[in-house]
Structure 1
Amino acid sequence: DAFAGGTITHTFLDVGDYHRYHFPLSGVVKEVRVISATNTAGGYVTWDTKSKRYVFNPGGVGWQTIETRGCIILETDRYGLVALMPIGMSPVSSINFSADIKQGTQVRKGREMGSFMFGGSDFVMVFQKKVNFTLDSPNEAGSDLFKRLLMGERYGKLVLPETPKYR
């Protein structure tokens, strides 16, 4: 319930992009979790009792479980709890947290959090309800698409209400 009604940001890394991720804020790590992929890339695999074989269903429900997800809950002084979720997409589907990132670790903005193996990847941040995220990334000229950004470039800002709950 800590994130109910909160704001989600989602960024995509293409195959050739920088595949390390860094803490976007300073704070204390409250939780570190890796949720492994459960199926093969591109579909859903089930056990067929008749043939006594695994059966591949490329369009079945459950395809979304092929991505390995990570989750770090970061407690910040200013913005409360923030969920940081690297998502390793298929076909490699991997996330690798830095070995020294553990529950209770004090981290500073910019510190490396981990890396993806080869492939496309996503990074999701979830903020609590009292924190608003304003997307201010520039658009490509003459397009509705956002400009491709490099690591460390700003794409938005966090805004607190006048009487923030988290100070």
Structure 2
Amino acid sequence: MKNAGIITFDTHTEAEEAVKELQKSGFDMKKLSIIGKDYHTEEDVVGYYNTGDRVMKWGKFGAFWGGLFGLLFGSAFFFIPGLGPIMIAGPFVSTIIGGLEGAVIVGGLDALGAALYSIGIPKDSIIKYETAIKSDKFLLVVHGSMDEITNAKSILKNIGHDLEVHSA
């Protein structure tokens, strides 16, 4: 059984606040992923490196990603044709790596779409989430049992956000 909850945020500040609220409520940080574009109009990315579960990266949202990488486990930077540069923190990193291999098999979806599909997200929702990423929004993905997803939904609802639940 694959379960995921996804919420879209307009700004990195909103996404970070939601992650911190989940952390404060005792939610397992190993079950959260953040996905977003990282435009570099003010600074050029020099690179990034991974030391254990921490990443240092230079770019416009460096402090945002650095803070999240300190809370979430696993991180990666991908360039996905059609979407551009994508930063991911959390367990979704391993899912998207699998999506890179499975994208051709899953009806022509790109790597992000194939990865979302592999965790039980329906194709119509995948289009919505990819459009959000293209529009410079951020996705928070909650992984886990239905009880964990329901708990996260309740925590986020208390701060005015609605988690969309998907189960396969």
State the TM-score, normalized to the length of structure 1.
0.28
Higher relative contact order (CA 8 A, sep 6+): 2
Please state which structure has a larger fraction of its residues in strand.
1
Larger radius of gyration: 1
